[in-house]
Amino acid sequence: MAYLVSLPNPGQEGKPKFLHSDNPTLIERWIKAENRPGFGVYYLPNPLKPGATTHSKENIAGISCIYVDVDFKDVTETADEVMKRLGDLLLQPTLIVSSGHGCHVLWQLKEETACDAPEFEDVCGLQAALIDYLGADPQVRPWSLLRQPGTLNSKREPHVLCEVLSRGPVVDISELRELVEIVGAAKLLTRKYSQREHLHATAETDERKPPIDVDARLQAMKLNGPGDSSIHQTQLSVTASLLRAGVALEETTRTVLEATRAAVANDATWDWRREELKIVRMGVDFIVKHPELAVLVPDRWRVPFDAALADGRHRPDIGLNQGGFYVRAWKIKSDSESAKPSSSADGGPSPGTDKTKAAGGTARVILKPFAPIDPLSLPRRQWLYGKHYQRRVVSATIAPGGTGKTSLVMVEAVSLATARNLLGEQPEERCRVWLHNGEDSREELNRRVVAICQHYKIPQQELQGWLFLTSGTEMALKVANGYSELKVDNALVAEMTRVIADNAIDVVMFDPLVTLHSVNESDNGRMDTVIRIFAKLADVCDCSVDISHHTRKLAAGAFDHTVDDTRGASSVRDAVRMLRILNIMSHNDAENLGFDDFERLSYFRVDRGKANSVAPASSATWRKFESVDLANGDNVGVVTPWDLPAQDTTSTRRRKYSCSYSTSTPPASVM
């Protein structure tokens, strides 16, 4: 399975995103979406264990590829000379990839070395020897990420495409061992050592201390124990030893915490959350002293962690809340340094000076001046259908009960799944659609789909693998619960995320909102949280999410619903990006067209946008229900396109545009 990570460039706003999938369509779409200025797309050449979600030594299944990362600015040779020497290597690499400002050199192995194999550490040593021989980045490990070929490196100007420069055969591990033996201590490329690397190479550090027996030290740990057996000293030594061995910070913390619990017989008087926080901070302190171990911190911390190391700052201020650990802020290097504000020529603070930092506090608000942007570099909005369905965005369809919102979204679902123009809107691409109806049964949903295919003459086979239907009567999806205390069902949200990703879903339709939660619908804060759950789902899965919702009763004297009539909290309409509202044809419009009060129920209008007033009837989008008779005897209403005719009340006009239902037969269901 491919493991991909999208990271914002240093100084760029944004959060890391991850994808672990074997679905080629989803992988291609995810890379395309994340390949944008300000971000870098990375991949892991070696496989992860089943179920693993982060790249670390304990999570890789084995080594199937040995690779190094050569940065042109870090070697004494010129870029041309580097490429010439790489071309003359005794063992041709399987791939040489331009990383934008350097190159990745990879040897794909004929056989994978499993993580539990006796020779695993020897293979890690081979990589270290090749790094030394090629003057490459010493922090690279078999679980390190590389830039994805075919994506942009926008870290520096000009932006450069990462692309494959040469290809060669896969190799046997014995061939790499032979190469290392032949070159010995020779150097193909000469690395420029930074001052920090020089200090680490010459200073007496913990790296020179002999390794400890981790299991023995943990078993000997005792409360108030003498010397090295004390809890604090044991935690310090074992944490450092595990990190030096390449164990990820989170796994190191779990190991030390469990041993501490055992040492004190899980004493209930201990604050174990605070103890866990203390161990995390021990590990962070050690990693800051040994920057080459920065790959062991959680992925979600890498951006601020790397930025802090580059700025020479101390460790991050690690916080702890109900959601777990997080980086709260970065401490300033020293009070004396932070108390010295930079000055301009007239003695005042320089433009852009962070006044909070200048006062010796922690910076929480930082202003960033605008810089000119090349319009061609801006990614276009990814519309999928009718300026309503858009990737990474939540939209809403609002209507009174019985207007036709369910029938409308189902026709749109079929249109998207077949890329057919059914309602006057051509889908931008063929999309995989998941439609979840929390009220209707699966049989009713199937009945509607069959009627749609019958009316529009669509072979049902076209929907196979493209349309997915679920019913709330079989599978309830409540992402949040609680009137007095909001509780988000994170396990359900994670499962929904996985299902969307695994099936490469492009559009998700949830109908209606009230079935997706058990929260006070009038509580702005809680309903905002509910909608944000779906916004995150859309963003993480690179899909469009549309939520159907109801209106409240019309105010006295009102004839049409507006967005202000959205039922419940106003945060629902405020949190979505696109919103449309449906209204049954009004009495006035019906009268002008010569329709009676019964016939008008088969026509409804769609007003788009968040405007607080309804558009004139002549400028709105109109839809009409057509009655479809199924072979089993059922009658189903199917939404069809319809244009408002010129207002003419003659009998001829009335006969031409009137509904096809007779006065003795009720119209088909329009829910």
Q: How confident is the model at residue 300 (pLDDT cuts 50, 70, 90)?
A: low
Which alpha helices (H) appear in 313-404, and where do they start and end? Answer: 335-338, 355-358
Domain with 403 in it: what CATH number? 3.40.50.300
Q: How many domains does the chain have?
A: 3
Is 128 domain-assigned?
Answer: yes
Is 664 domain-assigned?
Answer: no
DSSP of 585-643: PPHHHHHHHT--TTGGGGEEEEEESS-SSPPPGGGSEEEEEEEEE-TTS-EEEEEEEE-
14 and 86 assigned to the same domain? yes
172 and 231 assigned to the same domain? no
* DSSP letter (8 states) at residue 305: H
Task: List Cβ neighbours of 486 (8 Å cut-off, separation of 6 or more).
Answer: 480, 519, 526, 529
Q: How confident is the model at residue 315 (pLDDT cuts 50, 70, 90)?
A: low
Task: List Cβ neighbours of 198 (8 Å cut-off, separation of 6 or more).
Answer: none
Boundary (domain end) residue, out of 136, 162, 192: 192
Boundary (domain end) residue, out of 311, 334, 357: 334
Is 356 domain-assigned?
Answer: no
Beta-sheet pairing, 394-399 with 544-550: parallel
Report the chain's C-alpha Rg in angstroms.
31
Task: List Cβ neighbours of 307 (8 Å cut-off, separation of 6 or more).
Answer: 10, 11, 330
In this structure, are residues 297 and 307 in contact, taking their beta carbons and an 8 Å threshold?
Answer: no
Is 520 domain-assigned?
Answer: yes
395 and 512 assigned to the same domain? yes
Domain with 91 in it: what CATH number? 3.30.70.1790
145 and 85 assigned to the same domain? yes
pLDDT of 515: 93
520 and 561 assigned to the same domain? yes
Mean pLDDT score, 282-307: 73
In this structure, are residues 642 and 622 in contact, taking their beta carbons and an 8 Å threshold?
Answer: yes
Return left, alpha or beta for 399; rule: phi > 0 is left, psi -120 to 50 is alpha, else beta: beta
Mean pLDDT score, 452-480: 93
343, 372, 378 from 375: Cα distances, Å: 35, 9, 5
Task: List Cβ neighbours of 633 (8 Å cut-off, separation of 6 or more).
Answer: none
152 and 210 assigned to the same domain? no
146 and 61 assigned to the same domain? yes
Dihedral angle computed from the Cα positions of residues 505, 541, 158 and 166, in that order, rounded to the nearest 10 degrees: -60
221 and 95 assigned to the same domain? no
Is 118 domain-assigned?
Answer: yes
In this structure, is the dihedral angle defined by the CA atoms of residues 108, 109, 112 and 117, taken in order, positive or negative?
negative
Boundary (domain end) residue, out of 270, 305, 334: 334
Is 547 domain-assigned?
Answer: yes
Which domain does 320 fall in, by range? 206-334
223 and 246 assigned to the same domain? yes
Tokens 């910070």: give the residue. 249
pLDDT of 646: 62
Is 75 domain-assigned?
Answer: yes
CB < 8 Å & 24+ apart, contacts of 226-233 = 231/260, 231/263, 231/264
pTM, rounded to two decimals: 0.50
221 and 186 assigned to the same domain? no
277, 322, 501 from 319: Cα distances, Å: 8, 10, 31
Q: Residues 16-56: pLDDT tens digits? A: 777 888 888 888 888 988 898 888 999 999 999 887 777 88
250 and 290 assigned to the same domain? yes
Mean pLDDT score, 53-80: 90
Mean pLDDT score, 600-616: 69
List residues bridging with 17 in a β-sheet. Answer: 6
pLDDT of 456: 94
579 and 544 assigned to the same domain? yes
Q: Residues 387-398: pLDDT tens digits? A: 899 988 999 999
- Mean residue pLDDT of the chain comes to 80
pLDDT of 619: 61
Is 373 domain-assigned?
Answer: no
